[in-house]
Amino acid sequence: MWTIRRAVFVLLPAFAAAAIFLIALRTFNAQVSEQAKQIHDRAIVIDSHADTTQRLLFDKTFDIVARNKDGNVDFPRMREGGLDVTAASALHAHVAPN
């Protein structure tokens, strides 16, 4: 029987491999077969590590709704890539007073 822990250890590497594959396709401007497009369109596409939170917090010129000249994650790119779910996180470092 599948446990949540086992599912996470199996599915996360699969999602990571798929993300790397999709990034490689975009980077090298490779042609995608019709079958691959159909599989992608039927899949739930998840980006489990979006480095966007720090830009939202610290870059006052960054607009996630508009296509940006730099970076990889903004709403237009998410729509074009068929991204269904993304996970972003923020870390708050507490510094104890002296």
Task: Tell me how far apart the alpha carbons of residues 79 and 19 are, in angstroms, rounded to a whole number.
Answer: 15
Note if the pTM is more than 0.85: no
Greatest Cα pair distance, the chain, in angstroms, is 62
Strand partners, 46: 85
Of residues 19 and 47, more confidently modeled = 47
Considering the chain, what is the average pLDDT of its residues?
80
